[in-house]
Amino acid sequence: MSTYTVNVSGIAPSTTQSQLNDFFTFCGKIASINYNEKEHTAAIAFEKPNAAKTALMLNGGALDGANLAVTSDVVHQDEDHHPTATGERHIEQSDKPRAGIAAEYLAKGYVLSEQILHRAIEIDTKQGISKRFLDYFHSLDKSVGERALGHDQTISSKVQATVDHATQQARAVDEQKGYTKVAHDYYTKALASPFGQKVASFYTDTTKQIRDIHEEARRIADQEKAKHEQASTPPAGSAAVPDPKTEAAPTVV
């Protein structure tokens, strides 16, 4: 299998291979990491050229307190893959718009300079959004819109006031049909929110500004926070299980 490699230098002495993997996984699937801990360098091979190109965008990004230098001996070109099948609920990380990937980095607490964010916007503007991603996203837009607004409707085609009202209906339908009991991805949940139009515009339109990336990062972070809070909240009517490590010992009389 062909791989697409970038070279990383300036890695902090405390950085582990696992941290490198976590950082660069946002770019796409990693085939291998050759990490030289003594030289603080690494060669990271990706399965797709799109992922390697995204990694190069991160030149100057911060990891573990160090600014990374990300370079390549060759020029990596984007590949546009076959469109997704209608209704498919999965998209590869490397197919996402670069501005969206940058927002994911920020949402996870990584530090990216304004120069990197400009770079992400520039790549999206020049390259365009991949047909694969657009087909995938429009499919979600339509499926969410039909649940909220009726047959052959999309969230992004309606004015925000209508969408705000309709999302309440969408949630009711989701609960009736059990949609809330399965794991939908971020895009599905975001489209079925009052921010539906903004989300659709951010991921399908190449005209963006840095503040749009920061705004999307906040939406992602807020949803992740809400998901964790929901997971940690016991069901209504259930008693909390005491922690044996913190529960006070009974008093002996």
Between 139 and 47, the more confident residue is: 47
9 and 116 together in one domain: no
Distance CA 178, CA 170 (A): 12
98 and 26 together in one domain: no
Between 224 and 65, the more confident residue is: 65
Does the pLDDT of residue 7 top 60, yes or no? yes
pLDDT, tens digit, 9 for 90 and up, residues 162-172: 444 555 555 44
User: Residue 197 — pLDDT band, cuts 50, 70, 90?
Assistant: confident
Between 97 and 188, the more confident residue is: 97
Which residues constitute the domain of residue 165? 83-231
Q: Among the three residues 74, 99, 129, which one is the final residue of a domain in this structure?
A: 74
69 and 121 together in one domain: no
Distance CA 18, CA 4 (A): 20
Q: Among the three residues 19, 42, 74, which one is the final residue of a domain in this structure?
A: 74
26 and 97 together in one domain: no
The per-residue pLDDT for 12 is 97
Would residue 252 be called left, alpha or beta, if left means φ above 0 and alpha means ψ between -120 and 50 degrees? Answer: beta
14-38 average pLDDT score: 96
Residue 55: give its domain's CATH number.
Answer: 3.30.70.330
104 and 32 together in one domain: no
37 and 138 together in one domain: no
62 and 160 together in one domain: no
Full-model pTM:
0.78
Question: How many domains is the chain partitioned into structurally?
Answer: 2
Between 247 and 190, the more confident residue is: 190
pLDDT, tens digit, 9 for 90 and up, residues 100-157: 999 999 999 999 999 999 999 999 999 999 988 999 888 887 776 665 555 656 556 5
The per-residue pLDDT for 142 is 75
Residues whose CB falls within 8 Å of the CB of residue 99, separated by 6 or more in sequence, listed in order:
117, 120, 121, 124, 202, 208, 212, 213, 216
